[in-house]
């Protein structure tokens, strides 16, 4: 049986669609919950918790912020390839030089080896900066996150939701190929 150009194109496209999600999700670690909402007193501090699971990643994770005008610590986390649901406490410090309001942004987690970034994760953050220290921390994760169940379920479900286009494209491609194969057998 001789392969024509259409079959070659379909095979290459199918392989690409199957491999691209694996390449995109190979950051080596996951962080949860997908969003956090907390309060930082103007003249104080507040500690929030994130959970990190390593997928065969050994190295530093540099923690940073986007659009959040507060100092925090630690800025670097050392991960080993056996970390699962490792509890990381991030302490945010109030900033008297900025207004009392709610700041929305992101926490960034960048895995690095020497001078190269190998992957990263961002989670949404809303920080209420106020002189009143009530209700300091609560998570607003839209996907349930439970660290005691042995996995970062929110990250997994979030990844599936984010990659739903790729998954549906793959299903359509497989259906088309099966339709072509069945159609050609009957003729």
Same domain, 113 and 93: yes
160: its two tokens = 């599936």
- Let me know if residue 47 belongs to a domain: yes
Look at residue 169 in the predicted model and tell me its pLDDT: 74
Name the domain count of the chain.
2
Question: Residue 120, Cβ neighbours under 10 Å: how many?
Answer: 17
Same domain, 57 and 144: yes
Look at residue 89 in the predicted model and tell me its pLDDT: 94
Is residue 92 within 8 Å of 2, Cβ to Cβ?
no
Look at residue 137 in the predicted model and tell me its pLDDT: 46
| Secondary structure (3-state) at 173 | helix
In three-state form (DSSP H/G/I as H, E/B as E, the rest C), the secondary structure along 17-29 is HHHHHHHHCCCCE
- CATH number of 50's domain: 2.60.40.10
pLDDT in tens, 103-144: 999 999 988 877 777 778 899 999 999 886 554 444 444 333
Same domain, 53 and 94: yes
- Let me know if residue 157 belongs to a domain: no
Under-70 pLDDT residues of the chain: 1-8, 13, 15-27, 132-166, 186-187
Same domain, 21 and 32: no
Look at residue 132 in the predicted model and tell me its pLDDT: 63
Look at residue 159 in the predicted model and tell me its pLDDT: 55
Look at residue 24 in the predicted model and tell me its pLDDT: 45
**Which run of H or E residues covers position 71?**
strand 71-73
pTM above 0.85, yes or no: no
Question: Residue 72, Cβ neighbours under 10 Å: how many?
Answer: 20
Look at residue 164 in the predicted model and tell me its pLDDT: 64
């Amino acid at each position: 049986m001789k392969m024509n150009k259409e079959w070659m194109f379909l095979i290459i496209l199918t392989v690409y669609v199957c491999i691209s999600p694996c390449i995109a999700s190979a950051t080596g670690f996951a962080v949860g919950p997908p969003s956090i909402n907390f309060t930082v007193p103007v003249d104080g501090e507040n500690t929030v918790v994130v959970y990190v699971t390593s997928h065969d990643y050994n190295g530093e994770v540099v923690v940073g912020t986007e659009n959040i005008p507060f100092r925090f610590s630690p800025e670097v986390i050392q991960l080993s390839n056996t970390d699962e649901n490792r509890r990381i406490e991030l302490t945010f410090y109030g900033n008297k030089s900025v207004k009392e309001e709610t700041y929305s942004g992101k926490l960034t987690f960048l895995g690095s080896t020497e001078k190269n970034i190998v992957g990263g994760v961002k989670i949404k953050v809303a920080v209420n900066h106020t002189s009143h220290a009530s209700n300091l921390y609560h998570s607003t994760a839209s996907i349930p996150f439970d660290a005691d169940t042995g996995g970062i379920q929110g990250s997994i479900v979030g990844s599936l939701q984010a990659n739903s286009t790729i998954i549906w494209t793959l299903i359509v491609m497989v259906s088309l190929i099966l339709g072509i194969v069945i159609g050609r057998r009957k003729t």
